[in-house]
Amino acid sequence: MAVVMARLGADAKAAGGRVALVVGNSGYRNAPPIPSPVNDAEDIAAALAGLGFDVDLRKDATLDDLRTGIRSFTEKSANADISIFYFAGYSASAGVGGYLIPVDARLATPQSSRTETIPLPTAIAGAARARRLGLVIFDAMRDNPFPAQPDGRGSGDPVAAARGGSIRNTLVFFPTEPGRIADDGKARNSPFAAALLKYLPQADLEINFVFRSVRDDVREATQQRQTPYMYGQLSRDRIYLNPVKQAAIVQADPALARRCDNLAAGLEDARKGTAGQGDAGENKKAAEAAAACSDAVQQSPGADRLHYQLGRSLFGTRDYTGAMASYKTASELGNARAIYELGWMYDSGNGVEKDPARARFYYEMAAEKKIAPAIVSLGMQQERGIGAASDPAKAYALYQRAADLGDATAVNRMGELTEKGLGVKQNLKQARAFYEKSAAMGGLEAMVNLARCNANGIGGRQDIPEARRLLAKAAQAGSADARRILAHIEDTRSK
């Protein structure tokens, strides 16, 4: 089988520090051929070249070809901002401890893997040298047809080893979970490669959303049988492979943006009115803000903040479909608050079908960017056993993270768990202290909890007047629970 190699794109410096090594092995000499890898590699290479990558494309690569390609790729990655390695073909073992099998491998004995394959960690270490993003796409989750499996070499975390203990900004993306077999499909490209080809070049799609979109497409194409899997961690930086709008944000009239910001900032928390309880004044404010923000995003389509403000305004008018669309645009442009709002909408079922698993996905992304309400939401899912067994201790740890960021709700949730002795040793005095701290930060739920403590002498002295004062304050600030309790008290006194 002839080996074909090609160079696509400009050199790494001219390409803005973007390098890629793309390998597609179809014509194995000692195993059944695979139709799609060469096609997938050709198309992935062309897509990356179109994005300004210096691409080294190698088809039906032998062991020597792989060694040479990875050596050159590793050297160039050290001077690159983004480095991508793509391999399609046969592999041995699963996960980050796998092996790249060249077309001339025989693998007659377990020991032969030491001389006939390339450990995947070698490619990961090469990509990990990039400054902003090292990405390894391992499209090789197929049955191993060779007589022997590798005998296993190395252990631990290969990405961490490559970066002195840190895995930040180095990712490995698999077409399916470890231990499962990926579908090659019957078209020119595998379902995984087809989804990559769709989303890698998409303009202004932040890298987190590239992975999410690929995952969703593959699951749909395979009737949920195959779910792409990612290993590693990104930093909080926004990374775009095709930053069209990000490269040139046009803001023709700054006054439009200021008007949008000011009107949106003046809105009440629109989520309080999701059951149709909002008053006419708030509805009018939301409609005015939505009109202003709509004009602003037309003038500045690449400004993520304005799309987020438009989403908030549309939510206030109960246009949940429009809010969802605006939040998605803002999220794809990298707005962390919008990522959280998407999670909340999937969690609550506003504008979309309720989907706690998808909500968790967005919460985790926003939590990585230190959005405290997202961390609280993850804690609540953990506490209530949504998507996994209930674990109050893990929930408490999440609340602590959010509390450290200054979130009043998180402090109150810590108080509730401490009062009940869930996930942490019961301590009524400490629980009351948490409620006091959260109430001082403006937490309405904490005001109600602190009123209860004062009314019943929980964790400290009993103080009925203080309990009533706290309930009145919370009710005036919008707490439905406080209003209900006060109404019950008045009703009881009148009888």
pLDDT tens, 131-190? 889 999 999 888 778 877 665 544 344 444 444 444 557 889 999 887 788 888 888 999
Please tell me the least confidently modeled range out of 5-14, 195-204, 379-388: 5-14
Distance in angstroms (rounded) separating the CA atoms of residues 14 and 442: 53
Burial class (CB within 10 angstroms; exposed 0-12, middle 13-18, buried 19+) of 316: buried
Residue 71 near residue 123, CB atoms below 8 Å: no
**What pTM did the predictor assign?**
0.61
Q: Which helix (H) or strand (E) holds 230?
A: strand 229-233
Neighbours of 99 (CB within 10 A): 24
Residue 80 near residue 58, CB atoms below 8 Å: no
Residue 154: the pLDDT is: 42
Q: Any long-range contacts for 157-163 (C-beta under 8 Å, 24+ apart)?
A: 157/96, 158/96, 158/97, 158/119, 158/120, 158/121, 158/124, 158/125, 159/96, 159/121, 159/124, 159/128, 159/231, 159/232, 161/121, 161/125, 162/121, 162/124, 162/125, 162/128, 162/129, 163/128
Q: Which helix (H) or strand (E) holds 373?
A: helix 372-384
Distance in angstroms (rounded) separating the CA atoms of residues 196 and 36: 14
Please tell me the least confidently modeled range out of 119-128, 273-282, 423-432: 273-282
Distance in angstroms (rounded) separating the CA atoms of residues 167 and 169: 6
Residue 162 near residue 128, CB atoms below 8 Å: yes
Contacts with 37 (C-beta within 8 Å, 6 or more apart), sequence order: 24, 25, 26, 88, 89, 139
Distance in angstroms (rounded) separating the CA atoms of residues 424 and 393: 6
Q: Convert the pLDDT of each residue in 351-366 to its tens digit.
A: 788 888 888 888 988 8
Neighbours of 400 (CB within 10 A): 16
Question: By C-alpha distance, which of 165, 77, 89 is closest to 128?
Answer: 77
Distance in angstroms (rounded) separating the CA atoms of residues 127 and 205: 21
Q: Convert the pLDDT of each residue in 297-329 to its tens digit.
A: 988 887 889 999 999 999 999 999 999 999 988
Question: By C-alpha distance, which of 433, 477, 437 is closest to 453?
Answer: 433
Q: Convert the pLDDT of each residue in 29-46 to its tens digit.
A: 999 999 899 999 999 999
Neighbours of 273 (CB within 10 A): 17
Residue 362 near residue 343, CB atoms below 8 Å: yes
pLDDT, averaged across the chain: 85
Please tell me the least confidently modeled range out of 63-72, 301-310, 421-430: 301-310
